[in-house]
Structure formats: structure tokens, C-alpha cells
Amino acid sequence: METIFYLSGAMILYAYIGYPLALLALRLFIFRPVNKIACEPAVTLIVPAYNEAGVIAAKINNVARLDYPADKLEVLIASDGSTDGTVRVAEESCDGQQFRVLPFAQNRGKMAVLNDAVRAARGEIVLLSDASAMMTPGSLREIVSNFSDSEVGAVSGMYRIVKSASGLLGKQEGFYWKYETFLKSQESALSSVLGGHGQILAVRKSLYPYPSPETINDDYVIPLRIIANGNRVVYEPRAIAFEEASKMAGFQRRVRIMAGNLQQLKEIKGLLLPPRILPLFFFLSHKAARTAAPFFMLSLIVSNAFLLQMHAYRLFGLSQLAFYALALVGLQWDLRPHVLRLPYYFCFVNVAYLWGAYRSMQGISKVGWK
């Protein structure tokens, strides 16, 4: 039980604290700059949408304000069987030439829609961007400048939370994404960032891997397969997409992410032969360790319970009890300062991950939108 206790504690600490420190240590010895040059390749911006009538007009207006030549930019609004008037609203805002609507009648899931939309794209670069994410005007230019480096196969922009104070978990969600941004920035500087942001992810069309329609986390699988094929995926912090905190909230969203995480574990084979050392290290430390964290949390609790006859373990047991008690208090009240609500957010995420793992084991992993 002591072995289980220390192993569980060490894995949790490594997943959330040790790994970022390891990245910083590697940065002392490794740095791979991108050969960025201003350029204007033909770009197709794809917006996958399911029942986004409330935001799709704003998204089209946002895209129209991007600082990029109109004759080099094609925009496809790909509706996945929307039933709320998304197609009608989008068509009213589109000119049918530069801005077009792809009104797919059947709701098949985001991955199927992306694959079909990429096939229809005319641009050399395809930029994927969710309907609710608004981009800064210079984002597209910042992203495409990375493609002047022939090694770069995909580029992820930066994702930011806005109106975080109005969301139930807004402040904590914003803190989480800042933490993720740090990890992605370090991974990119060392080698390649494994996962991108579906809100702003660009890919060379010739390298797009057309994942299975059953794929859940498209913004992870697409970049990972590009890396497995020998190209580089980089992070561009000057290209920014904003989204309201409320759009990212929800227990079911986290359940879906965990189902996707488990599905993605099989993607490790693409990093093994030939071995891609740093991306493999990132995969095991960032994705695999984070996916396993809720199971180590459970084993830490159980093993600690068997060791309560010793004073040191009683103290640690009391610390765990206080942590989870604070999480329960955070469930009921909006604690101040907001740092006191981090235990609730941490538990919220990991409980959702556990439920997602259970549903995946039961064979329940839908790809359709909700």
C-alpha cells in the first residue's frame, strides 16, 4: 500500500507540476525556431456548425474583418444537419462565392463534416475554426507566415477565455487554458505541439489526414498524425481566438473529452516507428499522464485509508479530506478569492474524466453534436 501511495502521489504531481518543470529544463538545451516569412497563400477557412444560429452571423462578420486579401480567402460554413435555422442565417450573410454554405442534411458529427469540407476546399491551407470562436484581425496572417517553413505541416493559434467572471467556472477555466498555453508553447519551441485548438487550427491541405468519422477529439488527432508523418506542428501565440467561458463549461463536455483521450491513446503507435523521441515524451507526459490522473487520485485515497495507523499518513489523510471538503464547499458557493475554488474545478474535471472512462468502457462514445 505504501508503494501504491507514493506511486500515485508521484504520478499526480508529475502530471501537473513535474512535466512543466521538465519542459523548462529541456528549454535550457533545445530550441527549434520556425523560419517565418510573411506570405499570402490561398486559404480556405472552414467553420463546422451544428445549431449555431445564434452566433453564425457574428462569426461570418468576424471572418470578413480578417486582414487578408479577399481573393486569397475562401470561407466555408459547413452545417452538420442543423435544425435551428443556422443554414438560413448563414446564407443571408454569405455571398455564395467567397463565402459559401455547405448545408449537409444529416447530422453525422464534426469529424465527418470537416473531412467533407476539406475535400471541397480550394485553398492550399485550410483553417478550422469553431462558430463561437472570434479571431483577432491579424490572426490569419500570423498563422500562415509559419507555413513558409517547409517543415511545418500545421499551426495552432492561441485560445483565450473572455467574460470569465460571468461563467460558473470561468476564472478557473481561464486559469486552466493559460496553463495549457504555457505547455503548448514549450512543446512547440522544443519540437512540435501535439494538440491544437479547434477554435483556430491551420493545416496544409495536402497533409490533412482525413481521420475516421468516429474520431472525437479532432484537434488532437489531426496534428498528431501530421507529426507521425514527419512534419512539424507549431504554436502561434500571436494568432488568437476568443470564446466566452460559458461556451466551454459543462460536465458532458469533459466526459466527451475523456472519451476522446482514451480513443487517442492508440495514436501513440504513429510516434514509435520511426521513434519521434520528444513528441513521444510529450504524449506520455501530457496526454497519457493526464488521462491516468483521476485513477491515481482514487488509488491515493484508497491506499491512504489502509495506512492510517501511522501518524504521517493520518496527517496526509486529513489534508486530502480538507481538499475534497473545500471542493464540496466550492460546489455550493462561489468562494473568494477564486483560488479557493480551484479544488472544486480540479475535482469537477477529474470526476467528469472518470465518468467518461466508464462510458467508454461501456461502449458509449457518441460523435454527434449536442
Taking CA atoms, 2 is separated from 8, 41, 118, 309, in Å, by 10, 58, 52, 12
For residue range 5-54, what is the model confidence (pLDDT) as tens digits?
999 999 999 999 999 999 999 999 999 999 999 999 999 999 999 999 99
For residue range 298-356, what is the model confidence (pLDDT) as tens digits?
999 999 999 999 999 999 999 999 999 999 998 877 777 777 878 888 898 889 888 88
Q: Is 202 in a helix, a strand, or coil?
A: strand
Of 171, 203, 194, nearest in space to 336 by CA: 171
The separation between the first and the last C-alpha atoms of the chain, rounded to the nearest angstrom, is: 42
Instruction: Quote the pTM value.
Output: 0.90
DSSP of 39-68, one letter per residue?
----EEEEEEESS-TTTHHHHHHHHHTSSS
Q: Which three cell numbers stand for residue 205?
A: 491541405
Q: How many other C-beta atoms can be found within 10 angstroms of the C-beta atom of residue 164?
A: 20
Q: Walk across the sheet containing 152-162 and list its strands.
A: 99-104, 73-80, 43-49, 125-128, 201-204, 152-162, 232-244, 134-135
Of 125, 273, 150, nearest in space to 200 by CA: 125
- What domains can you pick out in the chain, each with its CATH number? 1-27+251-370 (no CATH), 43-249 (3.90.550.10)
Torsion region of 202: left, alpha or beta (phi above 0 gives left; psi -120 to 50 gives alpha)? beta
